[in-house]
Chains A and B, each alone.
Chain A
């Protein structure tokens, strides 16, 4: 998929590009609003990651122009402003999602994938983990034909790890994904540990969960072959 990263902080733009490239995206960079307008007019992008705080133009105008010009790119707004009005304005103008700086790169990826699934109507495949099947569409966890009862938060946690399989997620990344940014100050690594502990306890009653690993000093990882 083609992604245009519109961000005046070059160093940040490069990091995002490096990460998305490793996830097999094709990335273009624009450091100014003018540059971005030109690139959107010329190229076809699936996604535009747009920083609202551009020095030469208001990012929101850019969405407006692109939409009028018939661009079908999905816009994901990235901003340090984070003010409610900006969020509402951005989403009203047809932005698909909104991320406040600083964000986790895996969170950005997860948002892009979510938009892509909606846009291209991709039906998520069930995922196999040892004796467990994670049914993403129906949000169920099955083990040998029996449904494993987990709470909504536990399922979200497991799903996020599964969607980022073979990658270590830090407690903070997990916390931010599930609890959002509003209670920022209350981030407590203990939360994630307690939920993982409970999840493991529930799953272990059905089958071993050696695929759910604790990576010492870093976080958690789901290992899967597929």
Chain B
């Protein structure tokens, strides 16, 4: 994925490059045309001069050579030449062409003016040539200077574009940052983004309104959950008291006692379920206070100590490896306890006899991390996907659990801005990592 400001700057760069290429092509053509025109004018001037000279002194001084009835002359650098010879053609010639001539073994490109004229009944052909080498050189040089200049300009404008785009798109950056990593619309930063770009303003405005609406709906949903939970707990309460009173009667058969206890167990599942939903709804609607400072290693020791009798009974080894410690400020101790307890308790449940559970706390890149790894049965990717969803985690199969424990863990983590990650491999084990926010 590429950032918008980079894309814009790249597009500008490419369009400038294309423009420059076109410009160079046209420029070099124009320069060539201008130069040729100049050369041609030059040649015509020279012709006039020669003709004037012939008019003054006659053709004879040019035709002194014994060997041929022709005259030829070129300067030392072969920049120019002139030749005059008798010709038999009857046609009148007057044109300029590009041709190469071999002079003293060097083949040189010339712009040549051909002109025929009559003197004393004899037709002569006058060739005046001007070398194109210098013109080519000139064209090359000019093109090079222009190219360097344009490349410089492109570079400078590319950098300024980047800067300006960055400045221009800063409100957009802010808006995306506000949206990034928000698990709950209640956490959305409602302060308006300062901008005088109307598009960003409307985007920000629309987003804030949307978030407000979602928030309101969420809040309503939570309220409904809380109200329903309360309504459900009352009948559960009545049933429980009735069953407990029944169980306390001394004259009932053992089988009936067992049936009553089974009913109580079932009722307890309902109670757990409702309480868990209530707990999550309360956490998500922020009804819990966060005003305690929690010593993380101490709470981990407490949890492992709590679970050690069960682990020992299963011959599961509990290892503790606390390298660094962390005082978690603005936390709710009971919630943090539940969050970690659920995970350790699951680890104990799903690790077989002889297995091992390791609790570790360490600072990683400045962030405090608690990892809980087990050598249990692990999870398949499909199980991992539904791990934190309510009621979906099928890894929890015992009848006393509602399968909502990890959903609670997740909502407590979100409430405290703690990141949770899970790595698991079937038959090898699972590792939960909790990344705590940096203390400000």
CB distance from B46 to the nearest CB of A (A): 106
Expressed in whole angstroms, the Cα–Cα distance for A70 and B342 within the complex equals: 46
Let me know if A145 is at the binding interface, CB within 8 A: no
Let me know if A110 is at the binding interface, CB within 8 A: no
Residues A195 and B230 in contact, CB atoms below 8 Å apart: no
Chain B residues with Cβ below 8 Å from A168 are 247-248, 257
Chain B residues with Cβ below 8 Å from A101 are 233-234, 236-237
* Contact stretch, chosen from A14-22, A27-35, A131-139: A14-22
Let me know if B276 is at the binding interface, CB within 8 A: yes
* Contact stretch, chosen from A111-119, A121-129, A184-192, A203-211: A184-192
Chain B window 246-288, contacts with chain A (Cβ cutoff 8 Å), 1 for yes, 0 for no: 0110000010011011101101100110011011001000011
Let me know if B386 is at the binding interface, CB within 8 A: no
CB distance from A188 to the nearest CB of B (A): 6
Residues B289 and A84 in contact, CB atoms below 8 Å apart: yes
Expressed in whole angstroms, the Cα–Cα distance for A87 and B111 within the complex equals: 106
Residues A218 and B288 in contact, CB atoms below 8 Å apart: no
Let me know if A81 is at the binding interface, CB within 8 A: yes
Q: Which B residues from 379 to 414 make CB contacts under 8 A with A?
A: 398, 400-402, 404-405, 408
Residue among B245, B268, B345 making CB contact with A18, cutoff 8 Å: B245
Expressed in whole angstroms, the Cα–Cα distance for A170 and B248 within the complex equals: 11
CB distance from B281 to the nearest CB of A (A): 11
Chain B residues with Cβ below 8 Å from A53 are 230
Residue among A16, A182, A216 making CB contact with B254, cutoff 8 Å: A216
Residues B310 and A194 in contact, CB atoms below 8 Å apart: yes
Residue ID in chain A nearest B232 by CB atoms: A80
Chain B residues with Cβ below 8 Å from A198 are 309, 313
CB distance from B99 to the nearest CB of A (A): 99
CB distance from B97 to the nearest CB of A (A): 99
Let me know if B102 is at the binding interface, CB within 8 A: no
Q: Which B residues from 293 to 322 make CB contacts under 8 A with A?
A: 309-310, 313
Residue among B282, B402, B404 making CB contact with A83, cutoff 8 Å: B282
CB contact under 8 A between A170 and B264, given known A82-B278, A104-B240, A104-B244 = yes
Residue ID in chain A nearest B261 by CB atoms: A218
Residue ID in chain A nearest B345 by CB atoms: A186
Let me know if B195 is at the binding interface, CB within 8 A: no
Chain B residues with Cβ below 8 Å from A106 are 244
Number of interface residues of A (CB under 8 A): 47
Number of interface residues of B (CB under 8 A): 51
Expressed in whole angstroms, the Cα–Cα distance for A80 and B233 within the complex equals: 6
Residues B230 and A80 in contact, CB atoms below 8 Å apart: yes
Residue among A11, A19, A80, A183 making CB contact with B248, cutoff 8 Å: A19
Residue among A81, A84, A185, A186 with the highest chain B CB neighbour number at 10 A: A185
Residue ID in chain A nearest B269 by CB atoms: A187
Chain A window 1-24, contacts with chain B (Cβ cutoff 8 Å), 1 for yes, 0 for no: 000000001011001101100100
Residues B282 and A217 in contact, CB atoms below 8 Å apart: no
Let me know if B242 is at the binding interface, CB within 8 A: yes
Expressed in whole angstroms, the Cα–Cα distance for A216 and B261 within the complex equals: 10
Expressed in whole angstroms, the Cα–Cα distance for A184 and B274 within the complex equals: 10
CB distance from A48 to the nearest CB of B (A): 18
Residues B237 and A185 in contact, CB atoms below 8 Å apart: no
Residues A80 and B268 in contact, CB atoms below 8 Å apart: no
Residues B257 and A15 in contact, CB atoms below 8 Å apart: no
Residues A80 and B237 in contact, CB atoms below 8 Å apart: yes
Chain A window 208-222, contacts with chain B (Cβ cutoff 8 Å), 1 for yes, 0 for no: 000000011111000
Let me know if A89 is at the binding interface, CB within 8 A: no
Residues A84 and B241 in contact, CB atoms below 8 Å apart: no
Residues A22 and B248 in contact, CB atoms below 8 Å apart: yes
Residue ID in chain B nearest A8 by CB atoms: B234
Residues B275 and A9 in contact, CB atoms below 8 Å apart: no
Chain A residues with Cβ below 8 Å from B236 are 101-102
Q: Which A residues from 48 to 107 make CB contacts under 8 A with B?
A: 53, 80-85, 101-106
Residue among A82, A105, A184 making CB contact with B272, cutoff 8 Å: A184
CB contact under 8 A between A219 and B261, given known A19-B241, A188-B400 = yes
CB distance from A35 to the nearest CB of B (A): 19
Residues B276 and A185 in contact, CB atoms below 8 Å apart: yes
Residues A217 and B238 in contact, CB atoms below 8 Å apart: no
Instruction: Using CB atoms and an 8 Å cutoff, list the residues of chain B in contact with chain A.
Output: 229-230, 233-234, 236-238, 240-242, 244-245, 247-248, 254, 257-258, 260-262, 264-265, 267-268, 271-272, 275-276, 278-279, 282, 287-289, 309-310, 313, 334, 337-338, 341-342, 345, 349, 398, 400-402, 404-405, 408
Report, nearest first, the 3 A-B pairs whose CB atoms are least far apart.
A217-B258, A102-B237, A15-B241
Q: List 23 A-B contacts (CB under 8 A).
A: A11-B238, A11-B242, A12-B234, A15-B238, A15-B245, A16-B241, A19-B248, A84-B288, A84-B289, A102-B237, A105-B248, A151-B309, A170-B247, A170-B264, A183-B338, A184-B271, A184-B272, A185-B408, A186-B341, A190-B310, A194-B313, A217-B257, A218-B261
- Assuming A190-B310, A198-B309, what are 16 further A-B pairs, CB within 8 angstroms? A11-B238, A16-B241, A101-B237, A102-B241, A103-B240, A167-B248, A182-B334, A184-B271, A185-B342, A186-B341, A186-B401, A187-B268, A189-B400, A191-B310, A195-B309, A218-B257
Instruction: Using CB atoms and an 8 Å cutoff, list the residues of chain A in contact with chain B.
Output: 9, 11-12, 15-16, 18-19, 22, 53, 80-85, 101-106, 151, 153, 167-168, 170, 172, 181-191, 194-195, 197-198, 215-219
